[in-house]
Amino acid sequence: MYPNLTPALVGLLGAALAVTAVLALRGPLARRLALRQVNRRRGEAALVVTGSVLGTAIIVGSFIVGDTFNFSIKQGAYDHLGVIDEVVGSPTPGQGEAAARRLAALAGDPDVDGLLAVRRHQAAAAKGDGGGRKGEPRASVVEVDFAAAARFEGAAASLAGPAPGPGQAVLNQRLASSLDARPGDRLTFYLYGRPVELAVARVVPARGLAGFGEDGAFVAAGSLDAAVAAGGAGRGAGAGAGPETLTLVSNTGGVEGGNAASDRVARKLTVALGPLAREGTSVDKAKQEVLGEARQAGDELGSLFLFVGSFAVIAGVLLLVNVFVMLAEERKPELGMLRAVGMRRGRLVRGFVVEGAVYALAAAVLGVLAGLAVGRAVVEVAARILAGFSPSEGGLDLAFKVTPTSLVNGFALGFLIAFATVALTSIRISRINIIAAIRDLPGEGGRRLKRRWVVVSTLAAAGSGAAAAVAIADSQGIGT
């Protein structure tokens, strides 16, 4: 998720690591003190790392949830469209055929990989009779030239194989499952109020062109002309005119790569249609819509989970602050002695920063591993919930997906949050009274804040509150 943030996050991560390396190399005393504290107080170090792991794990888990939903929804582009990028539809068959003739001029365009004209009929399908009768009220019967379809899809042609003969149809797996149909079964399709019997020639996976129309049956071009003519006559004048005549367009670049040229190809299609574009023929950028919806849904769901988990991230930050303050209190006499023998406050801060960077780096690595487990658990729960709904009811087959971008972003965010928390906390706890620290006396209480810090803190709080309101309203997990 959020590939647009990766350059900035990686840059900040590199800067933080570079600063830590410079502090460690130029300050050998601070480096030795920091590493000695890590080795001497392993229990406290484990507690600090645990506090940082919590935030990183939530962030990485949220990104994985977004990746999974993005990838799962994107499968619709493969299952229902395949290489189809644009669909040109017309309100009447005559206009659709005229559009197909006009668009044929684009066959040699470098942005267009292929064109295919099909006729799609909406129909109800049934198998058997009596109590064992099964039906599908929202089926599609698509007339297609199977040889042209094989050339259109290329090596991975979903309708590869011989064209069905007269009175036969090729079913995709979705429709075959709905009707419990197998090769050789006879099905009844109700086209325009007229029953048409077709035998199942074979069943193919509902992917690519074979998934176009979802519950689809595919017949040879022109094989249903008689049914269409009879149905049209039965409806009478003004009742509509037969099937949809569509021109399917494949852009150069594969299933997802072709989407990059979608806007450009759509403009060329509109120009080629000429007056037909003003008479109802439309260009639908189907692939672009599916991929856009997948990206939006993934971002929104990932942001929602990150928003809910942000309270755990905040708890992790507070735990980190409290643990570091506790460690400083335990070391107070030691810190006082170091200041008494001449160590300046800046060196003390640098030692804390180096020590904190070690904790943050270890926590970020462990947090990524824990985030993978968190994301997997959330996806498993969501998959079981969504499995109980049909596709029309919002059901979705989730496929667990992790992208390197999310892991890098999660690692960088987790490290930077821990590093910034440690650095700011170190600046605060380094302000000690040397005599009181050596004698382990309670710290000064009630010290009055300087006015400029009161003003800056108030403005920062107000600005953060205003920005948070906008982020929550827009479901921006990172902003929240």
Give a yes or no: residue 129 inside a domain.
yes
Give a yes or no: residue 328 inside a domain.
no
Q: What is the pLDDT of residues 206-226, one digit of tens each?
A: 888 888 867 889 999 888 877
Tell whether the model's pLDDT for residue 86 goes beyond 80.
yes
Q: What is the pLDDT of residues 43-56, one digit of tens each?
A: 777 877 877 788 88
Give a yes or no: residue 112 inside a domain.
yes
Q: How far apart are CA 141 and CA 240, in angstroms?
A: 17
Q: How much is the pLDDT for 392?
A: 57
Q: How much is the pLDDT for 354?
A: 85
Domain closes at, from 291, 316, 348: 291
Which of 7, 65, 130 lies closest to 386 in space, CA to CA? 65
Tell whether the model's pLDDT for residue 391 goes beyond 70.
no
Give a yes or no: residue 90 inside a domain.
yes
User: How many folded domains does the chain comprise?
Assistant: 2
Domain closes at, from 291, 321, 349: 291
Burial status of residue 18 (CB atoms within 10 A of its CB: 0-12, 13-18, 19 or more): exposed
Burial status of residue 300 (CB atoms within 10 A of its CB: 0-12, 13-18, 19 or more): middle
Residue 458's domain comprises 448-480
Give a yes or no: residue 275 inside a domain.
yes
pLDDT tier, 307 (very low <50, low <70, confident <90, very high otherwise): confident
Residues 341-362: what's their mean pLDDT? 80
Give a yes or no: residue 342 inside a domain.
no
Tell whether the model's pLDDT for residue 133 goes beyond 50.
yes
Give a yes or no: residue 38 inside a domain.
no
Q: Rg for the chain (alpha carbons), in Å?
A: 32
Give a yes or no: residue 174 inside a domain.
yes
- Mean pLDDT is lowest, of 133-142, 149-158, 268-277, 365-374, for 149-158
Domain closes at, from 231, 266, 291: 291
Which of 415, 351, 373, 449 lies closest to 23 in space, CA to CA? 351
